[in-house]
Amino acid sequence: MGSGRPAVRRGTTSVAAADPRYAWGPLLVLDGDGSAYGRGGLVVEWEARTVPQLVEWTLQQPVGAPPLNRHGQPADPLVVLTAEAAVRLGLPERLEGHEQRAGLRLPEDHPVVKQVVRAKWKLTRRGFGPWARIYRSAKAGQRQCVQLAILPWGALDDRSWPGVAGMEAADIARVLTVYADRVLTPRGGTAVNGLELMTSLRPPTRAVRDESGAWVSAHNPGSLGTAPVDPAPPEVPSEHPLAQDWNNHGFLDEEVFGWVRDVELLSGEETRQPYVIGLDVNTAFLAAASRTPVGLCAPEHVMRPRFDKKVPGCWLVDLSHIELDPRLPNPFTPHGGRPEGPAWYETHTVAYAVELGHNVEPLEAYVRPVSGAYLDPWHDRLKAALLATMEDLGVTAGLDDAAFLAAMEHVREGDPGMRAVLAAIKGTAKGGIGKLRSRARGLTYVKGERWPELERPTWRPDIRAAIISKARVNMHRKMRHMAGAGLFPLAVLSDCVVYPARTASVLDLLPYTGSGKPLPGAFRLGVAPGLVKVEGVQSMPWAVDLMEQGGNPAQLIKGGGHDAVWDEGE
């Protein structure tokens, strides 16, 4: 196989990137007929017969993307293999069992793995699975690394990338390129991408000159650094080593709402309403990430501290005495019931108790005096990606409520590729937060042992807790303002809340001021993170019957199971 750059096929066009080093775009999608598809309709020939040949060829082409931060590294080129392309390279068309178990990979004695090793290339610890990273040590300061995504092995699962794996190669290239341009070049599942995006936007190190004038690597201020930091004992999951001897009022339980109002608390007027309407908060975790200070240092243990809402941490405090309207979920517990005695809470939860007018006297705390808005660039990039993709689907910011609802009616009929990009962006935001506390897994894991994810600086359950706490508080605050207008929820699950309604139109449900503006502080319609859209409409008898049976209307109002809170998959 020649090593020169193949010519673009006649009759096709190439849209050059601003940087000629990446003129073909961030990725190529290879088909079995020898065609490789890139940015803007680009089609070129590829002739590799082995994976090492493909890696060598790819590194000679203008494929990749510039760094997202001036202290970061350029994105490695991504090569996406269709089933036919995988077979042409000697790979099995299917990786048996990947549908049932994540983490499957080719065995070390597979011929393709042996080819890679003989050619002096390396595989990461993930091995040769659906997302295989093949690399050598940097040469002349340039990374030598190619990421492979193997479609028939489930690299693009249908939940995060609906319909994409079944598209034509050219359409796959278009969808993934849009995502790469707006978010980052995919490196795994959307949860993995969410975590990788944090690090790409806040690299752990930067180049500085030492006293002799030589360039050396140093900590990048505002980042999480390169070394893992153990959390405080109450912040860890039950299998963590720090949890094994911990018996101080349990663990931090900052999770999303899962609450249903007692049917006995429904008024006659509410039960006479013919409808119930579910409101879904757009990317609630993403909205909560904006301007949220998180710890940038190890936790410090303090006894009898004075509460400070500006200090990230967890606080042992008794909030069980606080009386609240039972028609609203209690904001201090995920189940919405009154807490029992002292418990550990994240800063935002305790601050909300103060906001409601209550004194708090923490018994002890684990605080992080060094903090910063680590997730701000992550929030800003994902928000911009979300808004740009919704605009592609015909829903723009600034629409009035009626126009917004009309535009949303047509989203399902919009470009399937852009709908897939939208799903992937949402999965990236939700999954990235979930990945901050990846749980131990595997049949061989023994409770109390460390697991691999604990060795990365981004294993930060305290940051996850801060985002979920703030999202839950944000939601309760809006429910409280709705209650001020006489509207009380029937049920809440994660980012969906269900209200009784006199008509099937959300315009007749949401409160407005005398001038026709949305009531300040209450839920309001819109496309931006933190605003709401309609999740579904059902009848009041349907909702009451479900509540009496112990079900949650917020879970089923859309007509199916509610989306999982996050995806921690690889």
Distant-in-sequence, close-in-space partners of 430: CB < 8 Å, separation ≥ 6 = 194, 283, 285, 286, 565, 566, 567
Write the CA distances from 219 to 205, 215, 227, 291, integer angstroms.
Answer: 5, 13, 10, 22
Distant-in-sequence, close-in-space partners of 275: CB < 8 Å, separation ≥ 6 = 500, 501, 502, 503, 504, 537, 538, 539, 540
Write the CA distances from 397 to 41, 505, 535, integer angstroms.
Answer: 29, 21, 19
- What angle is formed at CA 62 by the lines to CA 217 and CA 199, rounded to 5 degrees? 35
The closest alpha carbon to 556, from 256, 285, 276, 326, belongs to 276
The residue behind tokens 């690394």 is: 145
Residue pair 209/216 in contact (Cβ under 8 Å)? The answer is yes
The Cα–Cα gap between 311 and 307 comes to 8
Distant-in-sequence, close-in-space partners of 83: CB < 8 Å, separation ≥ 6 = 32, 93, 151, 152
The Cα–Cα gap between 223 and 49 comes to 42
The closest alpha carbon to 69, from 214, 220, 193, belongs to 220
The closest alpha carbon to 308, from 347, 346, 343, 345, belongs to 347
**Whole-angstrom distance between the N-terminal and C-terminal Cα of the chain?**
34
pLDDT of the residue at 67? 97
The Cα–Cα gap between 71 and 220 comes to 8
- pTM (two decimals): 0.94
User: Dihedral, CA atoms, 213, 216, 220, 226, nearest 10 degrees?
Assistant: -160
From first to last of the 570 residues of the chain, give the pLDDT tens digit: 444 444 454 334 334 456 899 999 999 999 999 999 999 999 999 999 999 999 999 999 999 999 999 999 999 999 999 999 999 999 999 887 655 566 789 999 999 999 999 999 999 998 999 999 999 988 877 889 999 999 999 999 999 999 999 999 999 999 999 999 999 999 999 999 999 999 999 999 999 988 888 889 999 999 999 999 999 999 999 999 999 999 999 999 999 999 999 999 999 999 999 999 999 999 999 999 999 999 999 999 999 999 999 999 999 999 999 999 999 999 999 999 999 999 999 999 999 999 999 999 999 999 999 999 999 999 999 999 999 999 999 999 999 999 999 999 999 999 999 999 999 999 999 999 999 999 998 888 999 999 999 999 999 999 999 999 999 999 999 999 999 999 999 999 999 999 999 999 999 999 999 999 999 999 999 999 999 999 999 999 999 999 999 999 999 999 744 433 333 333
Residue pair 256/562 in contact (Cβ under 8 Å)? The answer is no
pLDDT of the residue at 143? 85
Q: 177 is written with which tokens?
A: 């390129």
The closest alpha carbon to 562, from 258, 332, 334, belongs to 258
pLDDT of the residue at 99? 56
DSSP states of 174-241: HHHHHHHHHT----SSHHHHHHHHHHHHS-SEEEEE-TTS-EEEEE-TTS--SS-----GGGS-TTSG
Dihedral (CA of 70, 76, 77, 81) sign: negative
